[in-house]
Structure 1
């Protein structure tokens, strides 16, 4: 996964510069700069508006005692989308708007949720089997049975006595 991020850090700026040059050749240099500034301004306004909505939804779910899974995901998407929108470039702006706009965010949320749940299942370590108390033993004595089922005899010494 780390190599993928490294590759993206190399390829994305090259793609952004290429697209900016191509757009500049079609509409001109100053209109391209104006379009990038306008997209950033629109993105900043959207981040402020949608960030406030996500924050209010998160506070509301916490006050009602509801688990804020959807609200936290929306907040993360607004944060990532805002970062992409404030980064100069047309490709990053497309993804930024996809993460921020209220009518495309549910699709982005589903994709992120699916990705995170798949990663969580592949990265989950094998089940941990804790020691269980030895039946019939004094609960305060500290006797525990290891997962193998073997009983290890021993004496607990309390250093404070």
Structure 2
């Protein structure tokens, strides 16, 4: 988690420097006010998109949890859309372009597929990393001898070792 936070901080610093350079270049080419107006307009649109996508992602997440399914790919796609909307909402022209690319549905699906392809990536986000479990005694009967699968009436005991 610490690596993720430091990577986001470095990416934010690099993005801020790049945004400044792009803004200076755009202001030099088109004048000062057109880049400011475009930045304000896209920030307003990004805030609207972030509110809309955030609510939509939250509804999808709750629906998956209510159905008893782990919130895997829909939650990752929703998080990618929300991240794209936040990038659009931040002032700056480069972030707008990156946000629009990340907000587009094909890129969202690609991000979700890449995250899902990593073994244990979704488990690390949405569940325990290590779990110890064992099959207990059957109700009113002998312990299940050697069979690792729980039989009807068997009790599966477990504990979360690391979240």
TM over 0.5: yes
Alpha-carbon RMSD across the aligned residues, in angstroms, is 3.2
Pair 1:110 & 2:113 matched? yes
Q: Distance in 2 between matches of 1:70 and 1:33?
A: 37
- Is 1:15 the counterpart of 2:31 in the alignment? no
**Counterparts of 2:88 and 2:8 in 1: how far apart (Å)?**
19
Name 1:81's counterpart in structure 2: 84
* Contact kept? 1:58, 1:71, Cα under 8 Å: yes
Larger radius of gyration: 1
1:101 deviates by 3.4
Say whether 1:56 aligns with 2:59.
yes
Q: Distance in 2 between matches of 1:6 and 1:61?
A: 31
Kindly indicate which of the two structures has a greater share of residues assigned to strand.
2
Contact 2:46 2:90 in 1 (8 A): no
Q: TM-score, normalised by structure 2?
A: 0.59
Task: Check 1:53–1:14 CA distance in 2 against 1; reply closer, same or farther (3 A cut).
Answer: same
Query: Which segments of 5 or more consecutive residues in structure 2 lack a partner in the other structure?
Result: 124-129, 133-163
Does the residue aligned with 1:59 lie in a helix, a strand or coil? helix
CA deviation vs aligned residue, 1:31-67 (integer Å, no higher than 9, x gap): 1101001111111111122222211111211221121
- Give the TM-score normalised by the residue count of structure 1: 0.60
Q: Which runs of 5+ in 1 are unaligned?
A: 121-126, 130-161
The alignment of Structure 1 onto Structure 2 pairs a total of residues equal to 124
